[in-house]
């Protein structure tokens, strides 16, 4: 069984800046200082009642007002998620409050009064006092400011779309500029398109489209597939997972450098992340190269005695990608 990636989207790590102990009488602002586009929902607790509302899309480096009028709440909660195109997402939020959400735009007055299947995990967030008013910051370990988060978000999606903008660090450099220039040229976009408000939508469309260069998984089954990728680094194969590939979707994982060979493994799972079996064997796609994996997110470079170390072992397919403009692995039944 593969655990840690339930739901149709991947939950992103949320670091909530906590400064002000009481809410101020001003609008609430949400700032995204991660390198991932976020869809956020908020929970507002007043006495014993919690109301939730969402979804608020916030691009990397963007701040967005999420409460109109004065903030009147004893406690603020936050749930954030990233589009599945990012594949292997950051670590999940550590929040333990379960409140109601819905697909599409929603406002729920009694966010505790719904079945468990309609609930999501929220984290408490006391807003900090800023010139914008009460503000909640979403951040990752790199501790980007707004400008760095936007650039790191552009770098990340360029890499997924098949352009070498590594490392993803929010620092402008020759490789990032070269990758961005090539992307704009390939898409016949103006030189200033990267500063347009909808540029992240353009990048996401490119990342979802496997045409062009790079390596992609495409899922042609009716199931969700959890995939793992192996790549040679410093003379050893490093396996990473899991990347969620929804039915009918494609995912282009981040690649470091320009590898000539990759190793791919995929396994179908049900809605509870349990492995789907055909007969006595899991429904999977791989090959003869045995590499270690484990439940939840992982990065492993030692593939000896997997079971003895409490790990799983899976057969990966070796795929030559050197000199190829694009390589697509399709999961088919």
Query: Mean pLDDT lowest for which of 52-61, 120-129, 146-155, 302-311?
Result: 120-129
DSSP string covering 230-270: EEEETTEEEEEEEEEE-TT-EE-----S--SEEEEEEEEE-
Give the model's pLDDT for residue 53: 94
Q: How confident is the model over 83-117, as pLDDT tens digits?
A: 888 865 554 455 788 999 999 999 999 999 999 88
**122 exposure class (CB count in 10 Å sphere: 0-12, 13-18, 19+):** buried
Res 211: pLDDT: 61
Domain ranges of the chain: 10-143, 147-208, 214-331
State the Cα–Cα distance between residues 101 and 288, nearest whole angstrom: 43
Q: Summarize pLDDT for 186-236 with one digit per residue, the tens.
A: 888 999 999 999 999 999 988 887 565 578 888 899 999 999 999 998 889
- pLDDT value, residue 328: 87
């Amino acid at each position: 069984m593969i655990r840690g990636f339930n739901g149709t989207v991947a939950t992103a790590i949320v670091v909530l800046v906590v400064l002000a102990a009481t809410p101020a009488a001003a609008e609430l602002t949400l700032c995204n200082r991660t390198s991932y586009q976020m869809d956020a929902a908020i929970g507002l607790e007043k006495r014993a009642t919690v109301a939730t509302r969402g979804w608020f899309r916030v691009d990397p480096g963007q701040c967005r007002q999420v409460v109109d009028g004065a903030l009147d709440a004893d406690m603020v909660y936050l749930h954030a998620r990233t589009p599945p195109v990012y594949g292997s997402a950051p670590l999940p939020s550590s929040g333990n409050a379960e409140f109601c959400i819905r697909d599409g735009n929603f406002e729920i007055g009694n966010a505790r009064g719904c079945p468990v299947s309609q609930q999501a995990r929220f984290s408490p967030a006391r807003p900090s006092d800023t010139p914008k008013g009460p503000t909640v910051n979403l951040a990752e370990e790199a501790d980007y400011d707004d400008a760095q988060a936007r650039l790191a978000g552009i770098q990340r999606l360029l890499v997924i779309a098949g352009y070498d903008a590594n490392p993803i660090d929010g620092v402008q450099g020759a490789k990032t500029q070269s990758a961005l220039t090539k992307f704009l040229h390939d898409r016949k976009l103006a030189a200033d398109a990267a500063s347009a408000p909808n540029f992240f939508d353009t990048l996401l469309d490119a990342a979802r489209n496997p045409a062009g260069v790079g390596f992609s998984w495409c899922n042609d089954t009716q199931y969700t597939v959890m995939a793992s990728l192996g790549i040679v680094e410093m003379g050893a194969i490093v396996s990473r997972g899991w990347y969620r590939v929804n039915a009918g979707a494609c995912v282009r994982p981040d690649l470091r450098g320009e590898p000539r060979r990759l190793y791919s493994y995929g396994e179908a799972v049900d809605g509870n992340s349990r492995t789907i079996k055909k007969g006595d064997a899991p429904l999977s796609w791989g090959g003869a190269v045995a590499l270690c994996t484990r439940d939840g997110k992982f990065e492993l470079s030692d593939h000896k005695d997997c079971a003895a170390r409490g790990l799983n072992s899976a057969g990966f397919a070796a795929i030559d990608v050197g000199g190829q403009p694009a390589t697509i692995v399709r999961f088919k039944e």
